[in-house]
Structure 1
Amino acid sequence: MSDVTVLGLGPAACLLALALARHGMRPLLLGSRRSRPAVEGVSQRVVEALRQSGCSNALDLLGPRWQRVSCWNAQEVEMNGEFVVERSAFDQALLRDVQAAGIEVKEGLVRSVDPLPEPGRAVAFEHASGRRQTLRAALLADCRGHTAPKTAADRLAGHTLVSLGRSFDGARAQPRTTFIESFEAGWAWGGVDPAGRAHVQVVVLPELLAAHDGDLDAAHAACMQMLGRLPRRFGRALQPTGPARARGIQPALRGVIAEADWLRIGDAAYTCDPLSGHGMFEAASAAIAAVPVINTLLRRPQSSALALRYLDERAESVFRSRIEAAHQHYATETHWRDEAFWARMTRAPSLPALQGTRPGRASFASRPVVEDGYIVERRVVVSGEHPRGVRFIDGIDLGRLDELLHAGAPAAPADIGQHLQAPPEAVARALHWLQAQSLLTHAGH
Structure 2
Amino acid sequence: MTDIVVLGAGPAGAGVALGLKRLGYPVRVVSEWRRFAAVEGVSQRVLDGLRQAGLHRALACAAAPSPRRVLWNGDGQSINQECLLDRPRFDAAIREDLREAGIEVLEARVLKVEGSDAGHLIQLDSREPLRADFLVEARGRSAPLAGGRLRGPETLSLLNQWQEAPGHPGSAVESLPDGWAWMARLADGRCYWQITQDAGGLPPKDQLPDYCARRRAESALVRELFGDAALQPASLHARSSTAILFHEASGPSWLRVGDAAMAVDPLSGNGIFQSLSSALQAPAVINTMLQRPDRAELARQFHQRRVEHLFLRFARTGRDFYALEQRWPEQPFWCDRRTWPDADPMHAPADFSQVRVARAPVIHGELIEEVEVVVTADQPLGIWHLQGIELAPIITALKRGELNQALAALPEPQRRTVQGWLLSQGYRP
- TM-score, structure 1 normalization: 0.85
> How do 1:433-444 residues align onto structure 2 when only pairs under 5 Å count?
436=427
> Mean Cα displacement is larger for which, 371-380 or 156-165?
371-380
SS at match of 1:244: strand
1:163, distance to aligned residue in structure 2 (A): 0.4
Q: 1:26 to 1:420 in 2, by over 3 A?
A: farther
Within a 5 Å distance, the mapping from 1:62-141 to structure 2 comes to 62-76=62-76, 77-85=78-86, 87-118=87-118, 120-126=119-125, 130-135=126-131, 137-141=132-136
Instruction: Tell me the C-alpha RMSD between the 2 structures.
Output: 2.9
Question: What's the offset of the Cα at 1:94?
Answer: 0.8
Partner of 1:356: none
1:187 corresponds to? 180
Moved more, 10-19 or 241-250: 241-250
* Identity among equivalent pairs (%): 31
SS at match of 1:207: coil
Structure 1 gaps, min length 5? 354-358, 439-444
* Count, aligned residues: 421
The secondary structure found in structure 2 opposite 1:386 is coil
- In the alignment, the residues of structure 2 paired with residue 124 and residue 314 of structure 1 have an alpha-carbon distance, to the nearest angstrom, of 31
Q: Contact 1:307–1:368 at 8 Å: present in 2 too?
A: yes
The alpha-carbon deviation at position 322 of structure 1 amounts to: 1.0
Describe how 1:2-401 pairs up with structure 2 within 5 A. 3-76=3-76, 77-85=78-86, 87-118=87-118, 120-126=119-125, 130-135=126-131, 137-154=132-149, 156-170=150-164, 174-210=167-203, 215-238=207-230, 240=232, 242-350=234-342, 361-383=354-376, 385-393=378-386, 395-401=388-394
CA distance 1:345–1:219, change in 2 (3 Å) = farther
Q: Who is 1:441 aligned against?
A: none
- In 1, Cα distance between equivalents of 2:73 and 2:90: 33
Contact 2:397 2:403 in 1 (8 A): no
- Which residue pairs with 1:442 in the alignment? none
Deviation at 1:324, TM superposition (A): 0.7
**C-alpha spacing 1:14/1:222, structure 2 compared with 1 (3 Å):** same
Q: Is the 8 A contact 2:210 2:233 kept in 1?
A: no
- Per-residue CA deviation, residues 124-159 of structure 1 (Å, 9 max, x unaligned), is 233xxx333241x221111011121233121x2211
Query: Helix, strand or coil for the counterpart of 1:132?
Result: coil
Superposition deviation, residue 240 in structure 1: 4.7
In 2, distance between residues paired with 1:191 and 1:302? 50
TM-score (normalizing by structure 2): 0.88
Query: Structure 2: any 5+ residue segments left out of the alignment?
Result: 346-350
- 1:329 to partner: Cα distance: 0.7
**1:344 Cα deviation after fit:** 2.4
Aligned-partner Cα distance in 2 for 1:50–1:117: 35
Cα 1:134–1:23, aligned 2, differ >3 Å: closer, same or farther?
A: closer
Residue identity matched to 1:68: R
> Shift of the alpha carbon at 1:65?
3.0
Q: Once the 2 structures are TM-superposed, how far is the Cα of residue 167 of structure 1 from its aligned partner?
A: 1.2
Bigger shift: residues 221-230 or 326-335: 221-230
Aligned partner of residue 196 in structure 2, secondary structure: strand
Task: Please state how far the C-alpha of 1:104 moved relative to its aligned partner.
Answer: 1.7
Task: Please report how far the alpha carbon of residue 292 of structure 1 lies from its aligned counterpart in structure 2 after TM superposition.
Answer: 1.6
Inter-partner Cα distance in structure 2 for 1:180 and 1:290: 33
